[in-house]
Amino acid sequence: MASTVKLLFCFLLMISFLSLFPFSSSAKQHPLDPLTPAEFNLVKIIVKRAYRLVPHNITFQYVGLDEPEKQAVFLWQSNPARIPHRRARVVTRLNKQTHDIIVDISTRSVFSDKIYQGNGFPLLTVEEQEAATELVLGYGPFKASMKKRGLNISDVVCSTSTVGWFGEKKSKRVLKIPCFYTEGTVNMYLRPIEGITIVVDLDEIKISEYHDREIAPIPKPEPTEYRLSHMKPPFGPRMNNAATVTANGPGFTLDGHTIKWANWNLHVGFDARIGTVISMASIYDLEKHKYRRVMYRGYISELFVPYMDPSEGWYYSTYFDNGEFGLGLSAVPLEPLNDCPANAVFMDGYYAGQDGSPLKSRNAICIFERHSGDIMWRHTEAEMPGHVREVRPEVSLVVRMVATVGNYDYILDWEFKPSGSIKMGMEKLRLESGKIPESRPSKMWQIGRTCNVGLTGVLEVKPVTYTNVDQIKEDAHGTLVAENTIGVFHDHFLNYYLDLDIDGDANSFVKTNLVTKRNTEAKTPRKSYWTVERETAKTEFDARIVLDSKPVEFSLVNPNKKTKLGNNVGYRLVPGFAASPLLTADDYPQIRAAFTNYNVWVTPYNKSEKWAAGDHVDQSRGDDDLLTWTNRNRAIENKDIVLWYTMGFHHVTCQEDFPVMPTLRAGFELRPTNFFEYNPVLKVIPPKHVTWPNCTAKP
């Protein structure tokens, strides 16, 4: 009886404690706003309350907004009094099982709780990765291996690597631990310690396997320096100073997470797994005097990086950066004047730690106007007296985030233009051991750079005995980029989730083929011309596209809306640099990364289909992903549809990539096509030209 009274008292105390938290939903809160710190705390309490009688610790692997149904959001937009329920999606580990939980924040209760029975494990937490590396550094046999190699354990830094899936019937939740030697350099990834296999069991929190297979050479530290303060003459050319300055402050307004800029209105969110989320992007039409819908939701769904060395120490290096490590979890604070220009506004992000408590990602996102130095449009009437000339400079809005995943930084940009175009892009920059690099000179800021995908950073390298290519007699799986150093070949594939609602949610996917025709008219000497033949995709199979050299354009149109001239309103996909996978279809990493099989996919909107590689990606088996969903071959014509776009790079390494590679860039664009009645930036008023005295920007 006493125990029952005690439980009842604890329950009433918990209810009383919950009442201290303010009701999270309000008329001012956008339904797609990311969870607030108070909501993270509330979710933590609700989940722990549900498992209060369970004697084992529960870990929070992922906590994020469980977005409302689309129609509920649009109803709220038209009537803010109709507030959708605030819910959170929570993935936990408990008793070596994965729980998928939906918490209703509005009612402060668990809405649903399902034990995941499928293959694969959830997102890794930062805390369990740190615990795994600490285990290794304090492990006796590992210390002995370092002593045998003559290495100082205080100069050893370890990281974490997922193990993938290679046909095992049963999988344990484990990590492999690669280690590096930092004596003489901060560029630790160029000094790997090879020949040791270390496996850590995350459920048991112990080292489950340890093999010291061989002693491999460690590349020298001397040629790896990249910090300006540590370099010696002669130096390269000095870049002239440049600055981005706006006379009247930001040209946009930020109300919570909603941005209004020029003719755009959009919502910016943050998520532990996918980082930046763009929602409800609409553009104002001067002709129609209203905002028109373009994109309901957009984000990077997955980032796949497989390495091309099948040897014992490398074969498992096939990373899914979103589903295994989390782009949002990997977000780093952006540095004013270096990561973002002087006119940028910063936004913090929040995510749940392993215990469910909210953690702040400071300055996770920056928003700024880009004065690129490019031309929006121009024309000179050279044949007219006085030479009539009109020109408008290109100004755009950029939303940027940087995620450090292992030895690379991904600089992720979304760029919005007054013309209605949306450009998706990324740069990749290497940071030293996950730390913020030394500040670059604040006087120098690059302007005029387009928004695209760029690759730079430090290679993943393999130590070898070779000092000259003439010594290599077998496939080295990479290029000799320095003495004793092979830069291993690899790929980068990014998949974008683009829920486009072009002037409404009933859209169709159209392929416009450019075909050559013979001229059958006898009246002129022309022998040929080209024209277009359009195909509307009926089902998902029709919309699976591998980009090649064929002249074809792709667009999403609203077949229910037409311009005054009778054209279907639409948006065109303008592909950039694209690549297709070169692994065989039966190779295990390719089975898991089947979203790379095609560059373009189209699916009917389904709230549960969010991530191209599936829900639980660590050691997944390719049985719940974009390929599986589209194999149903569902109807997609005149439906609420989602465009998935996969872009990629095959990286054939070279000496210029060492020790830090110059940036390789590419990108893609969504561009209005018969969406407007005429050029939407025809009446744009150019900015005033302001003359500034010479000055030095202070850091």
Active site residues: 321, 408
Amino acid at 520: T
Judged by DSSP in three states, 189 sits in helix
Output DSSP code: residue 68: P
**Which pair of tokens denotes residue 66?**
């469980």
CA-wise closest residue to 334 among 404, 241, 259, 406: 404
- Strand pairing category for 258-261 and 252-255: antiparallel
Helix axes of 2-18 and 37-50: crossing angle, nearest 10 degrees: 160
The DSSP secondary-structure symbol of 417 reads -
Instruction: List the strands of the sheet with 196-201, edge to edge.
Output: 174-176, 196-201, 206-212
The span from the CA of 370 to the CA of 395, in Å, is 6
Give the distance from CA 467 to its chain's centroid: 37
Residue type, 204: E
In angstroms, the CA 501 to CA 295 distance is 5
**Distance from C-alpha of 308 to C-alpha of 315, rounded to nearest angstrom:** 8
SS3 5: helix
- Long-range pairs, 149-154, Cβ under 8 A, ≥24: 149/193, 149/215, 149/218, 151/181, 151/183, 151/193, 151/218, 152/183
Task: Give the CA-trace dihedral at 607, 611, 612, 614, to 10 degrees.
Answer: -100
Q: Which helix (DSSP H) or strand (DSSP E) does residue 73 occupy?
A: helix 70-78
Residues in contact with 237: Cβ distance below 8 Å, sequence separation at least 6, in sequence order: none
